[in-house]
Amino acid sequence: MVNVTYDASQPLVWTDAAGNTGVYSPGDIAWVLASTALVWIMVPGVGFFYSGLLRRKNALSMIYLSMMTVAVVSFQWFFWGFSLAFSDGASLFIGDLKYFGMKGVLEEPSIGSTRIPAIVFSVYQLMFAAITPMIAVGGFAERAHLGPLLFFVFVWSTLVYDPIACWTWNSKGWSFVHGSYDFAGGTPVHISSGTAALAISIYLGKRRGYGTEVLTYKPHNTTYVILGTIFLWFGWFGFNGGSALAANLRAAQACIVTNLAASVGGLTWMLWDYRIEKKWSAVGFCSGAIAGLVAITPGSGFVGSPAAVLFGFMAGTVCNFATQLKFFAGYDDSLDIFASHAVGGVVGNLLTALFAQASVAGFDGFTVIPGGWLDRHYIQLAWHVADSAAGLSYSFVVTTIILWVMHFIPGLRLRVPEETEIIGIDEADMGEFAYDYVGLETELKPHVYVRSTGTAYDSGRNSELKERSSA
C-alpha cells in the first residue's frame, strides 16, 4: 500500500515500510508534470518540422511517425526502458530489470532527484526517450518503409538510447561518476539521434535523383516548418527548465538561457544565409533557432545568460556550415539532422565544459559542482570530449548493426524500391495523404521526353501524369 499524507502546510509526506519518510513539494511535482506535457508536444513538433521540409507526397508520413514513435516508446519505457536507464542497480553502462513493467515505481524518491517521487520522474523521462528516436527517424525520410520502423524504434531505444541515458544521468553511470555536465540531453538525446540519422542515411543510400534537378525542390510547406519550430521552442522550456526537477531559480535560469540561445541561433543562421541568397529565410531562422536550442541543452542548468549568447551564435554558425558536410562526404541526409543535432550537441557539450559555473548550478540551493574553465576546472573539457566521442561512436556503430540485422530479416528491410520513391511513401505505405492532391508531373517529366532535345511529352503516357486526388 502507498503511504502518503499531507502535513499542516500541505506538502506531500511519504513513509515506506521501514518507516523512512520524506517530503515532496506539490509545486515541484506540478512543475515537472507540466514540463512533461511541454516535452510531449515537441514530438509532433519534430514531425511537422520534418514534414514541411519534405515534398508533398511524403508529408503525412513524418507526422504519422511522430505519433507512432510516442506510442512505441511509451510501451518500451513501461516494459523495460525506464529500468534499463534508471535502475539504482545499474552498472557503469546499463541498468538491470529491477523496475521491469514499472514494478515498484511509485512514491519513493527518484534516482534523479529526492525532491520528486519516482513515478513523476519516470513519466517525465519518458518524453525524452520518445523524442530522441523521432529525431533520428527523420533520416528515413522519403525512402523507407513505415512498418519496419515500429521494430526499429523499439530496438534502437533499448540498445542505443537507454545505455547512453544510463551512463549520462544515472548516478551509477560512468560519465555521471566522472562528473560530466549534461543538464538536459546533449549526448543522450541530440548526439545519439543525430549520429543515428547519419548511420541511417549511409545505410539507405541516396534518394532517386540525388545531385540532379529532381531533388532541387524547396520545402513544400514553410508554414509546417514554422509551426513545428513553435512547438519545439515552446516545449523546450519544459525540456530544459523541467530538468531542474523542481520549481526553483535554476529552472528559471534554464528557461532564460534556452530562449536566448534559440533567438541568437535563429538570427545568426538567417544572416549567414542572407549573405548568399539576399533573402530573409524563415526556414533559415527556424533551423538556426533549433540549432541554438540543441546547443544550450547540456549547459542550460550550468551557464549564465551571457554565455547563452555565445551558445546561440556558435550553434547558428557551426551547424549552418556543417550542412555542407553531406556534399563533401557524399551521403544524403535529407533533413540535415546530423548537422543540426549531432554537431549542435557536440558544440553544446564543449561550450558547457568551458562556461559551466558552480554559482549557476547552485541556483537550486543544493547542487555543488567544481564548474568548468571559467572556474579553473580545466579537466572538465577532457571529460566532455570523451563523453561526446563515446556518444557519437556508440550510436553510429550500434545503429548500423541494427539496420544491417534488419536488412536480412524477412519483412524488416527498410529501403523502398524506386517506384515507391516516385509515388511517395504516403500513398505506397499509408494510402492516405496530407493534402487533397499530390502532383507527380515534375518528378516524372525527365523520364517521358520523346526527343533528345527534351521538348515534348509522350502523348501516350501523358494521361498517367495527372494529379492524384484522394477525394
Pairing outcome for strands 4-6 and 12-15: antiparallel
Mean pLDDT of 386-395: 97
Mean pLDDT of 387-393: 97
Mean pLDDT of 287-311: 97
What is the distance of C-alpha 243 from the center of its chain?
Answer: 15
The Cα 135–Cα 123 span in angstroms is 19
Q: Is residue 394 part of a domain?
A: yes
Q: Is the pLDDT of residue 471 over 70?
A: no
Q: Is residue 291 part of a domain?
A: yes
The Cα 220–Cα 61 span in angstroms is 14
Q: Is residue 268 part of a domain?
A: yes
Tell me the helix, strand and coil percentages in the chain, rounded to 5.
65, 5, 30
Q: Is the pLDDT of residue 448 over 70?
A: no
Closest CA to 421 of 145, 221, 222: 145
Predicted confidence (pLDDT) per residue in 269-284, tens digit: 999 999 998 999 999 9
Q: Is residue 225 part of a domain?
A: yes
- Contacts of residues 319-322 at CB distance under 8 Å and 24 or more positions apart, as own/partner, are 319/269, 319/287, 319/288, 319/291, 319/294, 319/295, 319/343, 319/344, 319/347, 320/268, 320/269, 320/272, 320/273, 320/287, 320/288, 320/291, 321/272
The Cα 324–Cα 320 span in angstroms is 8
Q: Is residue 445 part of a domain?
A: no
Beta bridge partners of 456: none
The CATH number of the domain where 355 resides is what?
1.10.3430.10
**Domains of the chain: total:** 1
Predicted confidence (pLDDT) per residue in 32-49, tens digit: 999 999 999 999 999 999
Expressed in angstroms, the distance from the first to the final Cα of the chain is 55
Q: Which residue has the cell 542515411?
A: 201
Question: Residue 336 has what pLDDT?
Answer: 95
Predicted confidence (pLDDT) per residue in 152-201, tens digit: 999 999 999 999 999 999 999 999 999 999 999 999 999 999 999 999 99
Question: Residue 443 has what pLDDT?
Answer: 56
Q: Residue 22's pLDDT band (boundaries 50, 70, 90)? A: confident
Q: What is the residue range of 350's domain?
A: 4-407
The Cα 432–Cα 275 span in angstroms is 40
The Cα 431–Cα 379 span in angstroms is 55
The DSSP secondary-structure symbol of 467 reads P
Q: Is residue 431 part of a domain?
A: no
- For residues 104 and 352, the model is more confident at 352
Q: Residue 437's pLDDT band (boundaries 50, 70, 90)? A: low
Q: How many CB atoms lie within 10 A of CB 440?
A: 17
Q: Cβ(361)–Cβ(250) under 8 Å? A: yes
The Cα 162–Cα 156 span in angstroms is 9
Q: Which residue has the cell 553510429?
A: 396
Q: How many CB atoms lie within 10 A of CB 236?
A: 30
Sheet containing 12-15: give its strands across: 4-6, 12-15, 21-24
The Cα 257–Cα 297 span in angstroms is 9
Question: Residue 215 has what pLDDT?
Answer: 75
The Cα 326–Cα 339 span in angstroms is 9
Q: Is residue 67 part of a domain?
A: yes
Share of the chain above pLDDT 70, in %: 92
The Cα 397–Cα 407 span in angstroms is 15
Question: Residue 212 has what pLDDT?
Answer: 77
Q: Is residue 180 part of a domain?
A: yes
What string of DSSP letters covers 309-351?
A: HHHHHHHHHHHHHHTTHHHHHT---TT-HIIIIIHHHHHHHHH
